[in-house]
Amino acid sequence: MTGVYPPRLRPTPLEIATGVTIGLDEGAPRVAVRGAPHPRAAIEAVVQTALSHPPCLVSFSGGRDSSAVLAVAAAVARREGLPLPVPTTLRFPAAPGSDETEWQELVVRHLDLPDWERIELSTELDLIGPVAGPVLRRHGVLWPPMAYFHVPIFERATGGTVVTGAGGDEALSRGALSHCRGRGWIRPSNLRTCAIALAPRAARRRIFARQPQQPIPWLRPHAEAEFRRLVSEYRGRSPDRWGAGIAWWWRSRYRATQTASLGLLAADSGCDVLNVFLEPTVVGALCHHYGFRGPRGRKAAVGELFGDVLPPTMVTRRTKAFFDEAFIGAQSRSFASAWDGTAVDSTLVDLDRLAFEWQSPRPAVRTALMLQQAWLGAGLG
């Protein structure tokens, strides 16, 4: 079983060079907002679909988004008499920044789930390692470059469904206009945020174009200028209202490429994948519910939508794991140190500066697509 990846979603040369998807997916439909249900009802409908096609594995890191999805899935399964979801966790003992064992155990214990699959990995998820390599050989570079992260979970769900919390950071983000509610409106920083959000689109494009941005040292000047122009144009065109902005985000290449890549890799393993916060019905429900201003913040949104099924400390937690150590390992570093400059677009990228970046203690993750492309181009794939 092999999925088909839409050609329009292939990373462009500039996206590969910057590690950032740019603009809208012109082939994406608009989400339906009018008459949408409450977000919790929309989320429950999505997870019930997954539970009805067992085995249902939930990609569970222990963060708020995956914990919320798991908690709702467990509640729906018990209510509807369906098989319980199986939390499935990837663990990386050699990457301490990814360790969320305490939070994971808290949630599983709170939900009283009898089955929990834990997959211990060491170097397998390197950007060009034994999991990524076959994906790159079969499909070429995909965005996000770490989409293969879920492959070990997909392989355990053959014939069933995997549920993820991907997209939660964006779908539950704080609306710019929520800064203007309550007493917080008198702070100068909040007034500026609201002024930008309410400015005409042409004015916002000019504002974003003038804002200082972090340099991308490996890009050639003309490529960096074009990248910044495209990003400013995209930000300036986005609607000022929170709900319309999230619906706009749903049509972005960022969302579309992520959904397509995960669907492609799930199909390779003979399973389906449902990314709860990337589903159009859920996004439409969030737009309808939070409307013009948006939620007051992620903590408030998580508490409102999932506070009845999550441990209280999970709702209020502030920490977040990171997985860079699991992706940029010995195999990537060995290849980068021997790289001779081939298979990277030198019209966009200063190859010497890129090589310098790859030798740094913590190479920028946004160079990952170029590393994978170079590996394929060197014939090692």
pLDDT tens string for the chain (381 positions)?
446 789 999 999 999 999 999 999 988 999 999 999 999 999 999 999 999 999 999 999 999 999 999 999 999 999 999 999 999 999 988 777 777 899 999 999 999 999 999 999 988 999 999 999 999 999 999 999 999 999 999 999 999 999 999 999 889 886 544 444 443 444 455 444 444 445 555 555 555 455 556 789 999 999 999 999 999 898 888 887 888 889 999 999 999 999 999 999 999 999 999 999 999 999 999 999 999 888 888 888 999 999 999 999 998 877 776 667 778 889 999 999 999 999 999 999 999 999 999 999 989 999 999 999 999 999 865
> Which single residue is written with the structure tokens 């508490």?
303
d(CA 352, CA 356): 6
* pLDDT for residue 237: 86
What are the E-state strand segments in the chain?
A: 56-59, 86-91, 117-120, 161-164, 272-275
Distances (CA, A) of 216 to 15, 87, 219, 220, 347: 13, 38, 6, 9, 15
The class that CATH gives domain 7-172+247-324 is alpha beta
**Residues making up the chain, counted from first to last:** 381
Task: State the burial class of residue 200 (Cβ atoms within 10 Å of its Cβ: 0-12, 13-18, 19+).
Answer: exposed
* pLDDT for residue 316: 83
Q: Which tokens belong to 347?
A: 């019209």
Count the Cβ atoms, other than its own, within 10 Å of residue 92: 22
Smallest CA-to-CA distance from 59 within 85, 92, 94, 97 is with 85
* pLDDT for residue 196: 47
Smallest CA-to-CA distance from 136 within 340, 377, 336, 358 is with 377
* pLDDT for residue 184: 40
d(CA 186, CA 180): 8
Report the DSSP beta bridge partners of residue 349. 219
* pLDDT for residue 202: 59
